[in-house]
Amino acid sequence: MACATIAVALGLAASTVVLMGSSATRVVAPHVTPGARQTAPLPLVGPPAAAMPPVATETTIAQVVGPVPYSAQPDGPSTGSLPVGGWWRDTKFLPVIARSPGWLQVRLPQRPNGLTGWIPESAAVLSTTTYGIVIDVTDHRLQLFDRGRLVLDAPAGVGTPDDPTPLGQFYLMEIGASRGAGWGPFVLATNAHSEAITSWEGSGDAFTAIHGPLGADAAIGDSGGEISHGCVRLHVDDLARLAPVPLGAPVAIVAGTRPPW
């Protein structure tokens, strides 16, 4: 039973997140705020990163509320607006990848993968994080970096060739509560849309989540494997080590290479 890509259920009131696993639909409990999950920095498990670390040593995060318009260039005409309501929620935390006077270029949550846009800086409340996640689908590993230093290197279950984990630069979009021991203490959803599944169980989309093993601890083992429909499965203890990572933190999904942000 391979749990994989996360799908988000339609709804006009409280948003819910539907996880793809067994034939039954599972609904994740309401959103967990980032502030409730902050803990002390994790101890370092590796030497300092090289001059060009695989993830940014610090990322600016833009907190925005409502259908904020975005454009293709700073101070350009609007080309769309951030989706709100239903599964998108009204408040979002978006990584900033470039700045221009009065404007921020951010990663956007909707399809297609890799979509970015420029938003007015006045529409955002800014914060920073020193955390970043790298998922290597070739090595079957998830690595967590803090300030450019490796703090977690864990085996991971990733997507199969038929339902691969999508590659690219993404971010932590949503945090959901656990649905049981097999899910781990929480479920982390990224804005990585499955390239093989357009709508999981009729939900209208399919996102990639990071969660517990769902009974596949042996398949993950010490070296990971290709066992899911796209989601990233970790041993429960390894998943728990991701607790300090806030919404908006960068997530790079790569295949054997780890370019900088």
pLDDT in tens, 240-251: 999 999 999 999
Place 196 in a pLDDT band, splitting at 50, 70 and 90.
confident
- DSSP symbols for the chain: ----EEEEE--SSS-EEEE-SSSS-EEEPSPPPGGGG--PPPPP-SPPP-SS-SS-S-EEEEEEES--EEESSTT--EEEE---SGGG-SEEEEEEEEEETTEEEEE-SSSSTT-EEEEEGGG-EEEEE-EEEEEETTTTEEEEEETTEEEEEEE-EEE-SSSPPPPEEEEEEEEEE-SSGGG-SEEEEEEEE-SS-SSGGGSS--EEEEE--TT-HHHHTTT-EEEESS-EE--HHHHHTTTTPPTT-EEEEESS-----
- pLDDT for 26 equals 29
- Angle, alpha carbons 234-181-219 (nearest 5°): 40
- pLDDT for 23 equals 30
- pLDDT for 54 equals 73
Upstream peptide bond of 120 is cis (omega within 30 degrees of 0): no
Instruction: Indicate whether this model's pTM tops 0.75.
Output: yes
- pLDDT for 190 equals 95
pLDDT in tens, 217-228: 999 999 999 999
pLDDT in tens, 24-57: 222 233 333 333 344 445 555 554 444 455 789 9
Q: What average pLDDT does the segment 98-125 reach?
A: 97
User: Could you tell me if 87 and 16 are in contact, meaning their C-beta atoms sit under 8 angstroms apart?
Assistant: yes
Q: What average pLDDT does the segment 152-168 reach?
A: 96
Place 116 in a pLDDT band, splitting at 50, 70 and 90.
very high
User: Could you tell me if 144 and 42 are in contact, meaning their C-beta atoms sit under 8 angstroms apart?
Assistant: yes
Place 11 in a pLDDT band, splitting at 50, 70 and 90.
very low
pLDDT in tens, 199-223: 766 777 778 999 999 999 999 999 9
Q: What average pLDDT does the segment 158-171 reach?
A: 96
- Structural domains of the chain, with CATH: 59-129 (2.30.30.40), 131-254 (2.40.440.10)
- Is residue 122 scored above 70 in pLDDT? yes
- pLDDT for 42 equals 55
- pLDDT for 102 equals 98
